[in-house]
Amino acid sequence: MSQKSVNGSYWQTPPGARNQIILIPTSLEERILDDHPVRLLDEILGGLDWTAWENTYNRKLGQPPIHPRVLCSVLLFAMIRRIRSSRSIEYEIAHSVDFMWLVSGRTIDHSTISDFRREHKKELKDIHRQMLRAAINMGVAKLSELCIDGTRVRANASRHKTWTADRVEKLLKELDGQIETAMAEMETNDSIDEMFDDGTSPAKLPPERDHDH
C-alpha cells in the first residue's frame, strides 16, 4: 500500500511527515506509568543485597562493567515479557521504552546478555526467588505481575485467603520450574542465533515478535 493511499483525503491525516524534525519534551521517567510492572521489578531488585556478587568483580582491570543488578533486571523482565532470546532483548533495549527505562538508556549487546546468563544461571535463579518472595509479601496482584505465567498464579492464589509457609514453598518450587524452562528456551534460541550470526546488530524486528504469544 502506497503512502498516497494511506494518507488520502478520506483517511486520517498524520500529524507530521516522517522526515519532519520533532522535539519531544519528556524523559524516560515520565514515559513509564507509576503502576508499570517494570517499576515493581526495579524496586524489589534495588532493595536486595548485591555486595557478595559485586565482590566477585576485579575492580582494577579494564573498563567499568555493567552492574549485575542491571543485567539481572533485563533478563528477568524479558522472561516475564515472554522474550526468549538475547538478540530480541538487545532489540527491546534499543526500541522499547520500558527496557530503555530499566537500563537507564544504556546500550547492551546480545553477546553480553547471553554470556552473563550462561555464567550466572544459579545466581539468576536465586535472585528470581528472592524477587518472588518479596512480591508474595506484597500480595497476589503484585506477584502475578512478576511471574512468567502470572495468569496461572493469580487463578491459583485466588482460591486461598492466606499464604501459609508450606504453600509459599510449594509455589516457589513451581515458579523455579518456570524460570528453568524459560532459561532453557533462551539457551536454545541463543545457540541457534549464534550459528547464523553475521556480526550485524539486530536492527530488524526479531522473528519471534512477529507472533503474539
**Residue 213 — pLDDT band, cuts 50, 70, 90?**
very low
Distance, CA of 133 to CA of 203 (rounded, Å): 37
Highest mean pLDDT among 63-67, 99-103, 198-202: 99-103
For residue 166, the model assigns a pLDDT of 85
Name the more confident of 182 and 23.
Answer: 182
Determine which helix (DSSP H) or strand (DSSP E) holds 187, and give its type and residue range: helix 165-195
Q: Which of 8-17, 54-63, 122-131, 135-144 has the lowest mean pLDDT?
A: 8-17
What pLDDT, in 10s, does the model give residues 108-120? 999 999 999 999 9
Distance, CA of 157 to CA of 148 (rounded, Å): 15
For residue 171, the model assigns a pLDDT of 84
Mean pLDDT, residues 157-170: 71
Q: Please state, rounded to an integer, the average pLDDT across all residues of the chain.
A: 84
Task: Report yes or no: 177 and 79 within 8 Å, Cβ to Cβ.
Answer: no
Q: Where are the domains of the chain?
A: 26-204
Distance, CA of 114 to CA of 161 (rounded, Å): 40
Query: pTM above 0.85?
Result: no
**C-alpha grid cell, residue 13:** 491525516
| Residues 6+ away with beta carbon under 8 Å from 143 | 132, 135, 136, 150, 153, 157
**C-alpha grid cell, residue 83:** 522474550
For residue 91, the model assigns a pLDDT of 96
Mean pLDDT, residues 55-64: 80
Query: Is residue 67 predicted with pLDDT exceeding 70?
Result: yes
Distance, CA of 184 to CA of 11 (rounded, Å): 46
Query: Is residue 78 predicted with pLDDT exceeding 50?
Result: yes
**Residue 169 — pLDDT band, cuts 50, 70, 90?**
confident
Mean pLDDT, residues 96-106: 94
What pLDDT, in 10s, does the model give residues 17-46? 778 776 666 788 888 999 999 999 999 999
Query: Is residue 184 predicted with pLDDT exceeding 50?
Result: yes
Concatenate the DSSP letters of all residues of 97-142 into one string.
HHHHHHTTT----HHHHHHHHHHTHHHHHHHHHHHHHHHHHH-HHH
